[in-house]
Amino acid sequence: MTFIFFRLILLAMVLGAAAIVGQMVAGPKGAVAGSILASLLVYALHVRSGLRIIAWLDDFKVENVPEVSSWWDDLAAKLFRYLRLHQRQQQALTNALVSFRTAAQALPDGVVTLDSEGHISWCNDTAQDHLGLKLGSDIGQPLINLVRNPNFSKYIRSRSWEQPLIMTAPRSRSKVLSVQLVSYGDQQMLVLSRDVTQVEKLERMRRDFIANVSHELKTPLTVLSGFLETFRDLPLSKEQQTEYLNLMYTQANRMQNLVEDLLALSALESSPNAGEGGEPVDLSGIAQKTGDEAQQLSAGKHDISVDVDKGLMGFGNSAEIFSAFSNIVTNAVRYTPAHGKISISLRKTENEIGKPCATFVVKDTGIGVSAEHIPRLTERFYRVDRSRSRESGGTGLGLAIVKHVVQRHDGELDIQSRPNAGSTFTILLPLAKAGAASKPAVSEATTV
């Protein structure tokens, strides 16, 4: 206030001085004219300063503070401080936004920001892939119009977003997404998407596993229960007792095999890698042994050829490798009609990167399977034909065991098959380095 009062006194002194000069030069009229001229001069200086400040604000740069008269210095200084603070705050917000978007881009989940009307403000690359969006052209568009899924539209309109929505991806029917909306700010919304395809697959496998185990155990238990009731309630001849006891033994043995396979599979899944840290394994001996057992199991019903390179050594667990080889060979005998051909071979080869390996191949002229079944053959209890598999004595876990054994030994499993044209199962296992298998080789193996 003192500063303004001083400025007013100074202005009055200037006008008074102009009036005095005018009075001295031209009398009373000169005094009036002097005061008017002085006022116009002061006004012009103020106008110039005001225009400079306006021009500065129009083309704002903090560092280009205009030169103004002393009357405007205080205003210019306050504007400068305010605008510099505003600029710093704006830069901080910009940096925060850039940081948020950079972090959101790095997320494995999809992120979409929506305004209060549900229009897209921004989305990361993952969201574009999940929901089929294009950031360049979809900004400002209603998300509900771009993701054409009735369940998604219903979910957004429901305003009940406590639980995520499980839906198929718009661009890929094989991909499953978990989508959830979150409100924030002034009625804005955040859409989060996550690829849960593998989780859903595991959940389906868990449900199937429980259902299959229950069914596999229920059937023999029902048979056993029926026979026991017969023994309790009916007088049976010696021949009938023997027949029923044999049938009961078959069902009990079936349950025992199932439990043993389940325990073996559980042990494989929870065990560490059995590669080069394991024992030396005589792969040639194991392959020859499984070939001999195939001959015994076939009992002359098939044309079986066995061709094994000698001296091929690997590392790992011999019992597990024998189990894998034996499962494949046994399946070939079970599912190849009489007089069909089965070839069993073990060769020294190289994998895709040129590393020496042993390639175990079992090829048959059996019933085969169609292409859609092949990816699921190594799932627990998966059967192309349930009744046929039970009649052959399988538990439905053999190929699942094979898959885990091969994985534990850093190997590869390949399955080729066509209906009525047979199947080819190939296992690639790394070979031991020359001189590495100094301990006695293990070729005697028992089933896992």
How does pLDDT run across 374-384, given as a tens digit for each residue?
988 888 877 77
pLDDT band (50, 70, 90) for residue 434 = low
Say whether 273-430 and 201-268 share the same fold.
no
Of the candidates 196, 114, 177, 175, the residue with the CA atom closest to the CA atom of residue 123: 114
Choosing among 3.40.50.1820, 3.30.565.10, 3.40.50.300, 3.20.20.70, the CATH entry for 273-430 is 3.30.565.10
Q: What is the pTM of this model?
A: 0.58
Predicted pLDDT of residue 208: 80
pLDDT band (50, 70, 90) for residue 295 = very high
Calpha distance 392→228 (Å, rounded): 25
Of the candidates 375, 448, 367, 447, the residue with the CA atom closest to the CA atom of residue 415: 375
287 touches 308 (CB < 8 A): yes
Burial category of 265 from C-beta neighbours within 10 Å (exposed 0-12, middle 13-18, buried 19 and up): buried
195 touches 179 (CB < 8 A): no
Domains in the chain: boundaries:
2-96, 107-195, 201-268, 273-430
Q: Which CATH superfamily, name and number, covers 107-195?
A: PAS domain (3.30.450.20)
The DSSP call for residue 344 is E
In this prediction, what percent of the chain has a pLDDT beyond 70? Answer: 76
Q: Is 443's pLDDT higher than 70?
A: no
Alpha-carbon torsion, ordered 8, 9, 11, 17, to 10 deg: 160
Calpha distance 160→154 (Å, rounded): 10
Q: Which fold has domain 201-268?
A: Helix Hairpins (1.10.287)
| Range with top average pLDDT, 65-69, 219-223, 431-435 | 219-223
Calpha distance 307→168 (Å, rounded): 49
What are the tens digits of pLDDT across the range 299-308?
Answer: 999 999 999 9
Calpha distance 250→30 (Å, rounded): 135
Calpha distance 394→392 (Å, rounded): 6
